Amino acid sequence: MTQDRSGLAGSVKDGVIDAIRGAGEITDAVVDTAASSLVNAIEKTSNVSVALTATASEVARGAIQGTAVVGGALGTAAKGAMIGLLRGTKEVGAESLDLNRSNATASSSGNGSHGMQEARGGSVQ
When divided into structural domains, the chain yields a total of 1
Read off the pLDDT of each residue in 26-54 and give the average, rounded to a whole number.
83
Q: What is the 3-state secondary structure (H, E, C) of 64-104?
A: HHHHHHCCCCHHHHHHHHHHHHHHHHHHHHHHHHHHHHHHH
- Give domain status of residue 49, yes or no: yes
Is the separation of the CB atoms in 39 and 90 below 8 Å? no
Read off the pLDDT of each residue in 68-96 and give the average, rounded to a whole number.
86
Residue 32 burial class via C-beta count within 10 angstroms: exposed 0-12, middle 13-18, buried 19 and up: buried
- Give domain status of residue 81, yes or no: yes
- Distance from C-alpha of 77 to C-alpha of 74, rounded to nearest angstrom: 5
pLDDT at 68: 93
pLDDT at 101: 60
CA distances 25 to 21, 28, 81, Å, are 8, 6, 14
- Give domain status of residue 117, yes or no: no
Q: How confident is the model at residue 53 (pLDDT cuts 50, 70, 90)?
A: confident
Q: What integer best gives the mean pLDDT of the chain?
A: 76
pLDDT in tens, 54-67: 888 899 999 999 99
pLDDT higher than 50, residue 75: yes
**What residues make up the domain containing 63?**
5-93
Task: Name residue 59's amino acid.
Answer: V
